[in-house]
Structure 1
Amino acid sequence: MKLNEFTAVNTFAKESVVEGVTTLEIIKDEKITAFDEPTFIKLKDKNFHNGVIKVKVKATLLPNAPEFARGFIGVAFRIDEANAKFEAIYVRPSNAQSDDQLRRNHTTQYFSYPDYKFDRLREEANGVYESYTDIALDEWIDLKIEVEDEQAKLYVNHSVNPVLIVNDLKHGNRKGSVGLWVEVGTIGHFKDLKLED
């Protein structure tokens, strides 16, 4: 997984050595103030449809991260050429360690850009596109996303069962690229990306 295999979209990206391993380090461009936007590095010449996406991620908060930062980090998939439509699943590692149960329930998140961001989904279908999973900041988290037509399943840290199931991907049964996604306040490290289509 080399940086030159990707195109940076509204992010700053570089190769960075973490614990002796070369990773891809990604930070969201501060000029993008809206949430759940195309803020990723996207694989070049990839047309992913159905299959499995595996990647290890590690989220650290930036020194100037806002109070609401949670270590947002995840994967965008079926990204169109213009970055105008895509699906995404991400995690909020600090939420899993909270004493507030409602916040814990918001540890994982699905959204669909541009029309179904987290706030709309939470308002219209509270609890359906989010769930709890046991993770933390500053630790490697193993993500596996299985995509089949209009369904996506998220597995975390080699869980036997999915921690989140999305049965109605909002863009339907499409194809597109795969991206490594971050949100405000996060230094995201990614390694060991594997696609199985």
Structure 2
Amino acid sequence: MTSEFVHRLDGVPKGARAHSVSAVAATVEGRGALRISLTDEVSLHGVPGRDYIDAPTFLELPVAFADGTIEVDIRSGLHRLAPDYARGFAGVAYRISPRRDHFDCVYVRPLNGLRTNPPPPRDRRAVQHFSYPEWTFDRLREAYPDGRYEAGAEIGPDQWLHLRLDVQGERCRVTVDGVPVLEVTTHGRWGMGAVGLFVDIGTEAYFADLRVVSGSVLD
């Protein structure tokens, strides 16, 4: 049995809960969307590795998800409070536990996208998968120097992209603008959890046209 949740994201969905982020309806390039960024309190006074950087910083949606497909359009760039290491981090968290103490996440770094002609190794770091809390990006890079949990992509800042995740069990396949860019074996826990619109430090992101389909997708 499959189920489907579709929302234009031209307003905050009923029942959504913000965790360390602000989310407001906005219009960008004539398109209705949700503008999401970290709160000023977190951006200015948060502790890296605790309050942000691969942490529970997302708008949690009233959607139950275990296996299936998540699709959303994202347009992200730098926030006015962005530190020099910010890359426009924005993406999707999934299988969020009720206490938000574990989840999986895929996010993009558009300032590392190939459209910006970044130097190595940043050209291979436009898309990232991590599993909270143990397997953040820095631990994944140390444990897997082959870079299997991140990949390059033909993206850039302040441009719309279409992110699609196909998830089943421990597998997650990531597609950007119809191009498969990453397929990983996750370190997260299996089971049902919520879906969240994720941002990290220094990011101003817009999200539109979300579609979540629950059910088996990979064979």
TM-score by length of 2: 0.85
> Does 1:90 find its partner at 2:100?
no
Gap runs ≥5 in structure 1? none
In structure 2, what residue type is equivalent to 1:115?
E
By how many angstroms is 1:115 displaced?
0.6
Gap runs ≥5 in structure 2? 1-8, 215-219
Partner in structure 2 of residue 39 of structure 1: 57
> Does 1:7 find its partner at 2:17?
yes
CA RMSD of superposed structures (Å): 1.2
User: In 2, are the aligned partners of 1:10 and 1:32 still within 8 Å (CA)?
Assistant: no
SS of aligned partner of 1:195: strand
By how many angstroms is 1:195 displaced?
0.6
CA distance in structure 2 between the aligned counterparts of 1:177 and 1:32, rounded to whole angstroms: 24
User: In 2, are the aligned partners of 1:57 and 1:191 still within 8 Å (CA)?
Assistant: yes
Pick one of 140, 143, 166 that aligns with 2:184.
166
Identical-pair percentage: 36
SS of aligned partner of 1:24: strand
TM-score by length of 1: 0.94
Partner in structure 1 of residue 5 of structure 2: none
CA distance in structure 2 between the aligned counterparts of 1:60 and 1:188, rounded to whole angstroms: 6
SS of aligned partner of 2:187: coil
By how many angstroms is 1:18 displaced?
1.1
Counterparts of 1:1-197 in structure 2, within 5 Å, are: 1=9, 2-5=11-14, 6-29=16-39, 30=43, 31-34=45-48, 35-44=53-62, 46-96=63-113, 97-126=116-145, 127-159=147-179, 162-167=180-185, 169-197=186-214
CA distance in structure 1 between the aligned counterparts of 2:206 and 2:47, rounded to whole angstroms: 21
